[in-house]
Amino acid sequence: MIMERNDRARWLQGPSAVCSVPPVANNLPWRLVLLGAPGVGKGTQADFLTQRLRACHLSTGDVFRSAAKRCDCEQTPAMRQAQDFIKRGSLVPDETVWAMVRERGGCLHCTGGFILDGFPRTVAQAEALKAYLESENLTLTAVVNYDLPLDEIVARLSGRRTCEKCRAIFHLTGHPPKEEGICDNCGGKLYQREDDRPEAIKVRMEAYRKSTAPLIDFYERLGLLVSVPAEGAPEDIFERTVAALTGGPSE
């Protein structure tokens, strides 16, 4: 079933904005964290999972990109500074990221649930999230870790194209749009992210290895980790994810 696409205004713009599609309240909302190196396909899987589980896709990278599009006068100094880290491929400081997520705490309470993508990315962020969820009596359902060899990841990143309007993700060879340079969903223009250039990719991989990979152990110890091999077509990875989350075949 195709759902109306939510513009995620509350997440992307901040707590005073109202989302275009109200959440479908769920007695047992899915509250997931997606882990994996940049380019492993978390964003694509988050899109699929949003459709199937009806939980909102909360990507910190999308918040930064959406802030970057606003005019200078609408940006906080911290947000402006964050753009410099991102262009280089470095991680944004934990305090900036946490302040941004904390401000959007309402999205973590969403009755439709959430799929966190790109956050937490360091142990300090994971600790902050854990303490916040505990204080609010919210529990994570699971943490999905996508596994993929490094050379495959680099190939994926360099061919990735993103829609500047609805942020749908395509790939030049793996998932090409029907018409070159144009989004299948909304007709928006597709572009290559600045941080998908080779120099930035190297820095991002190193940041992942040093700062984010330790989260695998962190969530393993909490008994929340579900590992999913991220080889193959996006649809197959998705079916593997659903099977891993529900403990059986997805259909």
Residues of this chain that interact with ligand ADP (CB under 6 A) are 38, 59-61, 64, 85-86, 89-92, 97, 118-119, 121, 125, 195, 204
CB of 8: closest distance to ligand ADP in angstroms? 14
Taking alpha carbons only, the member of 191, 167, 181 closest to residue 7 is 167
Taking alpha carbons only, the member of 192, 222, 29 closest to residue 110 is 29
Given 104, 121, 156, 161, which residue is catalytic? 121
Q: Which is nearer to ligand ADP, 85 or 132 (CB)?
A: 85
Report which residue's Cβ sits closest to ligand ADP.
61
49 φ/ψ angles, rounded to the nearest 5 degrees: -65, -35
Given 8, 42, 65, 156, which residue is catalytic? 42
Instruction: Give the 3-state secondary structure of 64-100.
Output: HHHHHHCCHHHCCHHHHHHHHHHHHCCCCCHHHHHHH
CB of 200: closest distance to ligand ADP in angstroms? 8
59 φ/ψ angles, rounded to the nearest 5 degrees: -105, 125
Given 5, 54, 88, 193, which residue is catalytic? 193
Residue 121 is among the residues annotated as catalytic for this protein: yes
Residue 240 is among the residues annotated as catalytic for this protein: no
CB of 119: closest distance to ligand ADP in angstroms? 4
Residue 193 is among the residues annotated as catalytic for this protein: yes
Residue 204 is among the residues annotated as catalytic for this protein: yes
Distance CA 218, CA 123 (A): 8
Residue 160 is among the residues annotated as catalytic for this protein: yes
CB of 85: closest distance to ligand ADP in angstroms? 5
Number of residues in the chain:
251
Q: Which is nearer to ligand ADP, 10 or 204 (CB)?
A: 204
Taking alpha carbons only, the member of 65, 73, 236, 240 closest to residue 145 is 240
Active-site residue numbers? 42, 121, 160, 193, 204
